[in-house]
Amino acid sequence: MQIDRRPLADRLAAFPRLGLATLPTPLEPMKRLTAHLGGPRLWVKREDATGLGFGGNKLRKLDYVLHEAVSSGADTIVSGGVVQSNSQRQVAAVAAKLGLACHLAVYHGRLEPPTPEYKTSGNAFLNRLFGAHLRDVPWSGDRNAAIRTLVGDLQAKGHKPYFVPYGVSNALGAVAYATTIAEIEPQAARLGFAPAAIVHCTGSAGTQAGLVVGAAVAMPNTAIVGIDIDAEPARVRADVVAFAREASDLLDVPFDEASVEVVAGHAGPAYGVPHQATIEAIRLAGQLEALPLDPVYSGKGLAGLIALIRQGRWRNDEDVIFLHTGGAPALFAYQSALGI
């Protein structure tokens, strides 16, 4: 039997994209944070620098997922998330850029508003700025049910809506996110290191699934470490496994479930609720590296990385990449809760 040895970039080239994200994103050293923590050597992959609408990791997924929407003649993009969802904000930005209507199911009740400004500032303000139509719905635990209902309502009114899942997390979204590995591998080689691990926050699972699938092809010696930010590590891991298996089939690569690592214990009391370790991580990133991290996702991701370093997970002479997924606008919605 002939073994398919095509490189990752060649496999990804079969999937069309719109070209909305500014790629590749930078890979930069975090020398001051490294010194503060005493090693290992830390780097940051700047997925907050993807450009459109304040950037973020979801733009990389939307580049591929919404190519299908445009090709199918959709006139409306439909998605959803909580009030301060980074994903919703990026969906709204892309819809505005493409000249498509955007309808968002905004979930209320998943968390209590932590500040008076939570419902109106940050991502919530940007959704309005980008022209999105917002429908308030109660949180039921089913991430996609209200989005699908909204799709049906719009179809009944004669629109041609395109469904974008919560977090832009599905098989194609995971394929799209494997492009991050296709960037990191040559970037790290040019900088003279091979990363022991790539650490990131994980919740809706598509980002981690893409990293796992891409690393299996291009960076098999690099661990992909997801820090659970949902306080639902078993659910997160199950979703990563499901999306990664589907994405592996699309890319025609093998998938090993044992490669999926989701680290629990760093989500704080609940999703969307920052705790002291999150606030410490946000302070350190800001004061040492001028990196704005949000309190829901990237702040908790870095808090988990810091905890693993303090536990001795890596040697001082190893290199570890932190994936900055973006989310800075949410800082403004949490300002009075952070004490900064």
Tokens describing residue 245: 């298996």
The answer on pLDDT for 80 being more than 50 is: yes
Q: Is 298 tagged catalytic? A: no
**Dihedral of the alpha carbons of 106, 293, 54, 95, in degrees to the nearest 10:** -30
| pLDDT band, residue 1 (cuts 50/70/90) | very low
User: pLDDT, tens digit, for every residue of 248-287?
Assistant: 999 999 999 999 999 999 999 999 999 999 999 999 999 9
pLDDT (0 to 100) of residue 340:
87
Using CA atoms, how far apart are residues 338 and 295, in angstroms rounded to an integer?
8
The answer on pLDDT for 3 being more than 70 is: no
pLDDT (0 to 100) of residue 6:
85
pLDDT (0 to 100) of residue 70:
97
The radius of gyration of the chain from alpha carbons, rounded to an integer in Å, stands at 19
Tokens describing residue 200: 């990131």
Q: φ, ψ for residue 86 (rounded to 5)?
A: -65, -35
**CB count in 10 Å sphere of residue 235:** 14
Mean pLDDT of 197-218: 97
Question: How does the average pLDDT of the chain come out, rounded?
Answer: 96
| pLDDT band, residue 5 (cuts 50/70/90) | confident
User: pLDDT, tens digit, for every residue of 104-134?
Assistant: 999 999 999 999 999 999 999 999 999 999 9
Sequence letter at residue 111 = L
DSSP per residue, 101-120: EEEEEEEESSS--SSTTTTT
Instruction: Please identify which of the residues 79, 85, 87, 121 carries the catalytic annotation.
Output: 85
pLDDT (0 to 100) of residue 225:
98
pLDDT (0 to 100) of residue 4:
65
What percent of the residues of the chain are helix, what percent strand, and what percent coil, each to the nearest 5?
45, 15, 35
